[in-house]
Amino acid sequence: MKIRKYFGFCNLIMLLVSITLICAATLAFIVIFIMKFPVEELYVTRAALLQPVVLVETMGSFFRGNPLAFGYVLLWAAVCIAILSATTTIMTKRMSQRITRSLYEVVKAAERVQGGDKSFEMIGSDMQEIDELCTGFDDMRRSLLSAQKREEALKHERSMLIANISHDLKTPVTAIKGYIDAINDGLADDPKKLAHYLKVIKSKNNTIENLVNNLSTMSRLELSKLEMDKSVGELNDLLYEAEQEHIIDAELAGLEIVTELADKSIPVNIDYDKMKRVFSNLLENAVKYRKSDSKRIVISSEIKDSCAYAYVIDDGMGICADEMPKIYDSFYRVDDARASQTKGSGLGLGIARQIVQKHGGRLWLTSEGVGRGTTAVVSLPLYGRT
Ligand code: ADP
């Protein structure tokens, strides 16, 4: 109900109650007058006083002859005023109570929000305007709550990122330091050993470089400052270069990288460095999420349905179907026992996917399930077909 309507309704009730009570009081005064009137003085019977005309005339004569009787009239007026002020006070109190009760709910809710409690539901009011205020306030509370949840999620993501990055950095830095110390201490006493130590140092350095590059790419993506500097290039050459950059990492992990590239040219309009980042991330994952009996990673390419396709196929840990939709989210990691030793920042796939999308292409992973390997697929528009 609208407040104006409610006020109108209350005023009508107040008017009807006052009129009824004043009429009742007046009637009581008349009855008392009839009962008490000294009939002998004006020669009328009490029964005759029941007729309104006789009563009015008799009252007129009586008040003219007894000026002191006006005290009764004043008493009657005082009773009427008392009735009016009592009904007005009671009704006004009721009206204001009903409105302030609803407003108090809003004030209480505002205090709860101020105190940090935003997880409650506001009860509306039967006053339309106040109900609208409650709804507006509740919408505000809900958006504050979701902003707070977003902020908490962001905070969590940031602390996860810092924890993961420090782990990702610590491991290769410690390894590099260990191997350099070993070389300094003369432990690499034959050329084969020295070559191996240097290989490990290079591989660990690649890991650090990849992480730093991913971080700078991510911040540019977040700031929408990642420009694509595209030119026509050969997908097979790019895949070959990516393979060369990861050959040492794979070898140290006991894996062989096999290339099965299409025997015809695959021209694509790409930002060469950014696309190399994509395959770097996919290859790093293929090495990182290997099993103890994993043997090889296959890099292949083909032209299908007028599109360029590149595949990075591994025989590693695989991914279960439930996790599949989430792995592209920034900072998301499949965090179960099998992956617990293989920490990562959770950035690689998200960045790779965004870069591919900026080329008008698609990136997705498929897996037969846990322990059954993973295939990463990148599709790009063929140059000349865009
Ligand atoms: P991370 O830095 O953790 O590797 P990514 O975004 O590259 O982050 O990958 C997200 C998650 O997807 C990883 O935590 C991992 O569990 C899963 N994943 C990605 N690639 C593979 C793969 N080739 N084999 C198995 N799991 C993978």
Q: With pLDDT > 90 as the criterion, what percentage of the chain qualifies?
A: 47
Which residue among 218, 257, 285 is best mutated to probe the pocket of ligand 1, counting the most ligand atoms within 8 A of its Cβ? 285
Ligand 1: which residue has its CA nearest to atom 20?
285
What are the CA-CA distances from residue 294 to residues 42, 260, 289, 372 (Å)?
Answer: 129, 18, 9, 10
Cα-Cα-Cα-Cα dihedral sign, residues 19, 24, 28, 31: positive
The yes-or-no verdict on residue 176 having pLDDT over 90 is yes
The yes-or-no verdict on residue 42 having pLDDT over 70 is no
The yes-or-no verdict on residue 12 having pLDDT over 60 is yes
Ligand 1: which residue has its CA nearest to atom 14?
333
End-to-end Cα distance, the chain: 62
At residue 61's C-alpha, the angle toward residues 56 and 65, to 5°, is 145
Q: Please give the pLDDT value at position 89.
A: 93
Q: Which residues have CB under 8 Å from 9's CB, separation 6+?
A: 1
Quote the ligand 1 centre to 221 CA distance (angstroms): 19
Indicate the pTM of the whole model: 0.64
> pLDDT tens, 123-139?
778 888 888 888 888 89
Quote the ligand 1 centre to 349 CA distance (angstroms): 7
CA 307 to chain centre: 38
- Over residues 271-276, the mean pLDDT reads 93
Q: Could you tell me the pLDDT band of residue 342, with boundaries at 50, 70 and 90?
A: low
Higher pLDDT, 293 or 217: 293
What's the chain's average pLDDT? 88
- Over residues 155-173, the mean pLDDT reads 81
Of 40-54, 92-106, 245-259, give the lowest mean pLDDT range: 40-54
Q: With pLDDT > 70 as the criterion, what percentage of the chain qualifies?
A: 94
Q: Please give the pLDDT value at position 337.
A: 42
| Among 316, 315, 242, CA closest to 272 | 242
Q: Could you tell me the pLDDT band of residue 338, with boundaries at 50, 70 and 90?
A: very low
Ligand 1: which residue has its CA nearest to atom 21?
285
- Over residues 52-79, the mean pLDDT reads 84
Q: Which protein residues touch ligand 1 with a CB less than 6 Å away? A: 281, 285-286, 289, 314, 316-319, 327, 332-334, 339, 344-350, 374
User: Ligand 1, closest atom to CA 328?
Assistant: 6
How many other C-beta atoms are found inside a 10 Å radius of the C-beta of residue 325? 9
Q: Which residues have CB under 8 Å from 323's CB, separation 6+?
A: 334
